[in-house]
């Protein structure tokens, strides 16, 4: 990880006030009276309101400013003993020490927490950075200490396992729609089998460029499912039409590929050129554009080059298998 920083500081001057509880109890001074007296003198306390000449005034009890300027002022007040009724000076019951500590104390889920901020190093995905941080914390932190995540890391960790579910659900829905369109279960598989080539091209592209496998890249993978399926559907749809005209599966697949190759190349080239600005983006937010653009560019390029070769093969095999089962 790089750019690690924290808001934790322990060098802020502070005062620690210690009450001699045993002495206070021996002298008959309630502990809560000591704290309330110091609070009233230093911070003030609201008493009531009164009206004078048609105006309402608020009554607040507080020591004068010159009696609140130094740590020694904490002991200038008096408290009454419940045993003797005498006024006992606070200076005889408290001790003030100069210490240092955190300027502000943050909490996480009700527990004291120290917040650290940083980002993944180049070539390391955010998911890997989260995993490494958790493993390091498990090995270094004392017992009863743990690590929690906030902001983007929290959402990424919360939905990290849902990306695979989203991909699977998208493929399943697409398969059902195609099965209803072709009225058979075999031909949609030829379309679905073209999608792994797009995933392979996307993973290879981000590996070559060194961009992370983050949420932006995963969104690009969802886009690739539709774009890759579109090209495969063009071939399978025309091949199915040719089979209905009486062609054999192999001849129908070759003819459909030849007829739809130019539209596939033109639409794919237009899309690939359209994502070039994402690959070459600079300035704020360029990393997110690089992750999405690199994955979509590489996946679409691989699907465009490989799918027209293997989709006819898949179509021929499944079409022949389906024809044999019907016969």
State whether 61 and 185 are in the same domain: no
State whether 102 and 27 are in the same domain: yes
Mean pLDDT over 200-217 rounds to 83
Residue 123: predicted pLDDT: 67
Final residue in a domain of this structure, among 107, 122, 148: 107
State whether 304 and 201 are in the same domain: yes
Residue 161: predicted pLDDT: 60
20 exposed, middle or buried (CB, 10 Å; 0-12, 13-18, 19+)?
A: middle
Is the pLDDT assigned to residue 325 strictly greater than 70? no
Residue 10: predicted pLDDT: 77
State whether 301 and 198 are in the same domain: yes
State whether 300 and 202 are in the same domain: yes
Q: 322 pLDDT band (50/70/90 cuts)?
A: low
Residue 168 domain boundaries: 160-326
State whether 193 and 95 are in the same domain: no
Answer whether residue 103 is part of any domain.
Answer: yes
Q: For residue range 235-269, what is the model confidence (pLDDT) as tens digits? A: 888 888 888 888 888 888 888 888 888 888 888 88
Share of the chain above pLDDT 70, in %: 95
Final residue in a domain of this structure, among 83, 107, 131: 107
Answer whether residue 129 is part of any domain.
Answer: no
Continuous H helices in 102-248: 126-140, 151-158, 162-182, 187-192, 195-209, 215-244
Cα dist. 276→279, 290, 292, 295, 326 in Å?
A: 5, 10, 11, 11, 47
Q: 146 pLDDT band (50/70/90 cuts)?
A: confident
The tokens describing 57, both together, are 């005034």
Answer whether residue 31 is part of any domain.
Answer: yes
Answer whether residue 92 is part of any domain.
Answer: yes
Is the pLDDT assigned to residue 57 strictly greater than 80? yes
Question: Could you tell me the CATH number of the domain that includes residue 270?
Answer: 1.20.1640.10
Q: Taking a C-beta distance cutoff of 8 angstroms, is the pair 19, 138 a contact?
A: no
State whether 268 and 189 are in the same domain: yes
Answer whether residue 6 is part of any domain.
Answer: no
State whether 91 and 183 are in the same domain: no
Final residue in a domain of this structure, among 63, 83, 107: 107
Question: Could you tell me the CATH number of the domain that includes residue 35?
Answer: 3.30.2090.10
Q: Please state whether 211 falls in left (phi above 0), alpha (psi between -120 and 50) or beta.
A: beta
**Three-state secondary structure string covering 40-103:** HHHHCEEEEEEEECCEEEEEEECCCHHHCCCHHHHHCCEEECCCCCCEEEHHHCEEEEEEEECC
State whether 180 and 315 are in the same domain: yes
Cβ-based neighbour number of residue 77 at 10 Å: 20
Answer whether residue 93 is part of any domain.
Answer: yes
Q: For residue range 94-135, what is the model confidence (pLDDT) as tens digits? A: 988 888 877 777 787 888 888 888 887 876 767 778 888 888
State whether 180 and 241 are in the same domain: yes
State whether 185 and 286 are in the same domain: yes
Answer whether residue 138 is part of any domain.
Answer: no
State whether 200 and 96 are in the same domain: no
As for how many domains the chain has, the answer is 2
Answer whether residue 257 is part of any domain.
Answer: yes
């Amino acid at each position: 990880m790089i750019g690690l920083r924290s808001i934790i500081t322990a060098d802020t001057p502070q005062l620690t006030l210690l009450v001699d509880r045993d002495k206070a109890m021996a002298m008959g001074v309630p502990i809560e009276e000591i704290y309330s007296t110091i609070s009233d003198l230093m911070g003030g306390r609201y008493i009531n309101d009164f009206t004078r000449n048609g105006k309402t005034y608020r009554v607040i009890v507080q020591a004068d400013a010159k009696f609140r300027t130094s740590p020694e002022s904490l002991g200038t007040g008096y408290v009454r003993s419940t045993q003797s009724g005498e006024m006992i000076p606070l200076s005889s019951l408290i001790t003030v020490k100069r210490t240092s500590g955190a300027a502000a104390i943050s909490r996480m889920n009700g527990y004291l927490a120290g917040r650290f901020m940083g980002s993944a190093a180049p070539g390391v995905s955010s998911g890997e950075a989260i995993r490494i941080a958790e493993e390091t914390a498990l090995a270094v932190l004392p017992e009863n200490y743990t690590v929690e995540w906030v902001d983007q890391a929290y959402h990424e960790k919360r939905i990290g396992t849902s990306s695979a579910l989203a991909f699977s659900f998208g493929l399943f829905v697409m398969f059902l729609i195609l099965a209803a369109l072709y009225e058979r279960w075999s031909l949609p598989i030829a379309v679905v089998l073209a999608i792994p080539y797009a995933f392979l091209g996307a993973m290879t592209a981000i590996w070559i460029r060194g961009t992370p496998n983050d949420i932006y890249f995963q969104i690009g993978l969802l886009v690739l499912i539709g774009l890759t399926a579109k090209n495969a559907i063009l071939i399978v749809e025309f091949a199915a039409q040719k089979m209905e005209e009486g062609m054999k599966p192999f001849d129908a697949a070759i003819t459909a590929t030849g007829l739809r190759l130019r539209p596939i190349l033109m639409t794919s080239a237009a899309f690939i050129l359209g994502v070039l600005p994402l690959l070459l983006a600079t300035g704020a937010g360029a990393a997110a554009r690089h992750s999405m653009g690199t994955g979509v560019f590489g996946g679409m390029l691989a699907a465009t080059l490989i799918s027209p070769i293997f989709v006819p093969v898949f179509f021929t095999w499944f079409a022949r298998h389906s024809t044999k089962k019907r016969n």
